[in-house]
Amino acid sequence: MILVTGGAGYIGSHNVIALIESGYDVVIFDNLELGHLETVETLKSIQTKGKVVDFIKGDLQNFEDINSVFKTHKIDAVIHFAAYSQVGESVKNPQKYYFNNVYGTLNLLRAMLENNVKKIVFSSTAATYGEPVYVPIDEKHPQNPINTYGKTKLMIESILDDYDKAYGLKSVRLRYFNVAGADSLNRVGEWHEPETHLIPNVLKSTFGGGKKFQMFGTDYDTKDGTCVRDYINIEDLAKAHILALGYLEQGGETNYFNLGTTEGNSVKEVFSTCEEVTEREIPVDVMARREGDPATLIAQNTKAKEILGWIPEKSLKDSIKTAYAWECKLNK
């Protein structure tokens, strides 16, 4: 059985589906602060190959909460998503991020060691690289995060190295670029309150009563003046986690991989693809730059392709189509 922390959230929930569809039993651990009970109910109702989906409400900052999951379930490996992930908030309130992300992970790792579970796939981020020194960014790029969120994830990467050396705990760290889209069958999707990400914000502006879309910065040194990002589809991302789990199950050593497509799209390109998909003219206000946004973030993904055999297949347009179907469901 696989323990999925943060399984009621955006990335976690799509991974739970991928796990069930790959034949794993799953226990979701989530405090439901950002995750949704409706999502858990949807996941529990997916009866693929009779797999078990269990749910335990609890908080990683409480050691007993997480330790008891290991006592009541036979856990073979962990996929760890539970974290705060808003860059701006992390800079304003670092204590919240260090306690939840770093201390919470320390409790999880302590429970793993006490219960002799020694495999973990960890949600890391391109934010650990900081301002790019070169693009595309490969895994050898220096890691100098410029915000607290990125720092918490880098600290955990470093802790995982020490835990491997000392205790033989094996980890795969997956460094996500910009995750986009929703489940192709529209069962789960991106559902943040408040929403800060580009694609859902553009799509939300198509609904009556929605806010005008705010485009942050058109004076960057990029192809059209707006920031360029590498948008990786959520289902492609979930597949990488299944491959990472298989890699650890086969005795793979601790490792780390970028998850991106190697293609960069500007904010204006994303915006016009949203207009194309929704067949609407979307109201937009051009704003000043948002603090802390690097001009360009694009992944090199050769390592994940070669070692994990991962091949991202979906385009930006595929992601926007599923994201739009999901937004329509949320706005019903």
What are the residues binding ligand UFG (CB under 6 A)? 85, 87, 125-127, 149, 178, 196-198, 201, 214-216, 227, 229, 267, 290, 293, 297
CA distance 326 to 245: 28
Q: How far is the CB of 300 from ligand UFG (least distance, A)?
A: 15
Strand partners, 121: 79, 172
Q: Shortest gap between Cβ of 49 and ligand UFG (angstroms)?
A: 33
Q: Alpha-carbon distance 243 to 254, whole Å?
A: 14
Please identify, using beta-carbon distances, which residue of 3 and 215 lies nearer to ligand UFG: 215
> Of 117, 7, 138, 8, which Cα lies nearest the Cα of 73?
117
CA distance 186 to 180: 14
Give the Cα separation of 190 and 13 in Å (integer).
Answer: 10
Task: Between 248 and 327, name the residue whose CB sits nearer to ligand UFG.
Answer: 327
Q: Kindly state the smallest distance separating residue 178's Cβ from ligand UFG, in Å.
A: 5
Beta bridge partners of 233: 180
Strand pairing report for 119-125 and 296-297: unpaired
Closest contact distance (angstroms) between CB of 320 and ligand UFG is: 13
Nearer Cβ to ligand UFG (120/232): 232
What DSSP state is assigned to residue 16? H
Bridge partners, residue 287, by sequence: 216
**Which residue among the candidates 149, 163, 176, 247 is catalytic per the annotation?**
149
Residues 6+ apart with CB under 8 A from 19: 2, 4, 26, 79, 241, 242
CB-side exposure of 226: number of CA atoms within 13 Å? 16
| DSSP classification of residue 118 | -
Residue 216 DSSP SS3: strand
Q: How far apart are CA 297 and CA 263, in angstroms?
A: 10
Q: How far is the CB of 72 from ligand UFG (least distance, A)?
A: 32
Q: How far is the CB of 128 from ligand UFG (least distance, A)?
A: 9
Nearer to ligand UFG, 259 or 297 (CB): 297
As a whole number of angstroms, the distance between CA 268 and CA 251 comes to: 44
Report the residue number, 24 or 271, with the smaller CB distance to ligand UFG.
271
> Which CB atom, from 164 or from 293, has the smaller least distance to ligand UFG?
293
Q: What value, to the nearest 5°, has the Cα angle with vertex 99 and ends 27 and 13?
A: 30
Instruction: Clarify whether 231 is annotated catalytic.
Output: no
Instruction: Kindly list the catalytic residues.
Output: 149
